[in-house]
Amino acid sequence: MAPTPWREVCPRMYVCVCRAVTENEVHDCIASGAKSAKQIRDTTGAGGDCARCVRKICAILKRSEELTTA
């Protein structure tokens, strides 16, 4: 049996509380070609206020790169 995709397990994990941006939205931006936290900010607004979420966004980007190159 295949594991349940993370999107179905926690579809509303917030990355940016200020702008209510979810992990799914960040992953969608990456799937659409975003390669930096700035590009994700420009699309979703995440990181545009207090910027606490920028580290989390960078970690998601890095993990995405690692999965793509593996």
**Is the pLDDT at 3 greater than 60, yes or no?**
no
C-alpha span between 65 and 59 (Å, rounded): 10
3-class DSSP state of 15 = strand
Q: What is the pTM of this model?
A: 0.80
Give residue 66's pLDDT.
87
Number of CB atoms found within 10 A of residue 45's CB = 15
The pLDDT tens digits for 18-40 are 999 999 999 999 999 999 999 99
Give residue 68's pLDDT.
81
* Cβ neighbours of residue 37 closer than 8 Å, sequence gap 6 or more: 47, 54, 57, 58, 61
Mean pLDDT of the chain: 88
The one-character DSSP state at 36 is S
